[in-house]
Structure 1
Amino acid sequence: MSALTKAKGFKKSRTGTYLSIGTTAFGALSVVKQLRKARSDSDTLLLLDAVVSAAAIGTGLAILLRELKRIGDDDVLFG
C-alpha cells in the first residue's frame, strides 16, 4: 500500500476524524478572539464575519461528529 493511499484512508479513519475535530475546535479560538475584537471596536462588519465563521465551525463540527458516529456504527469490534 502506497503512502498516498494510506494518507487518503487516514482522513476517513477514527483517528483522522478526531484530529479533524481537534483542529476545527482549535479554529474556534481564533473566532472567539475575532468576536471580542469586533465587540470592543464596535465593528459590525467584523462581528458579522465572526458570526458567519462561528456558524461554519459549528456546522463543520456537526458533520465530523456525524462521520464519527457512522464510523462507530460500521466498526464491528467497537459497537
Structure 2
Amino acid sequence: MQPVDASEFDLDYIATALQSAVTAGGFLYEAKLFATRVKELSIAVPIDEAGALDLDQQRQIASASKRFQSIVARLAEVGRWSTEARII
C-alpha cells in the first residue's frame, strides 16, 4: 500500500465510515477501541474512474449522512413533543 496525502480525505466522510465500520464489527461506538481492536477496522473509500481517491464523492456521502442524522434528530424531537402535547 502506498502512502496517501491526508488532503485526499474528507474528515467527515472518514468519521462516518469509521462509525459504520465500528457498528458492523459489533463494537459499541462509545466504547474504547484498543489498538488491537482498531487494527481490525477497515473502511471503503470511493475512487474515481482514474483510480484516485474521489474527494468529491466522499464529501457528498458525508453531507448526505449529516442530513440524514439531522432528520433523525428532528423526528426524535417531534416524537418527544407529541408525547407531551395535550389537546384541549
| TM bracket, shorter-chain basis | 0.3 to 0.5
Of Structure 1 and Structure 2, the greater helix share is in 1
Give the TM-score normalised by structure 2. Answer: 0.39
* Structure 1 length-normalised TM: 0.43
Structure of higher CA gyration radius: 2
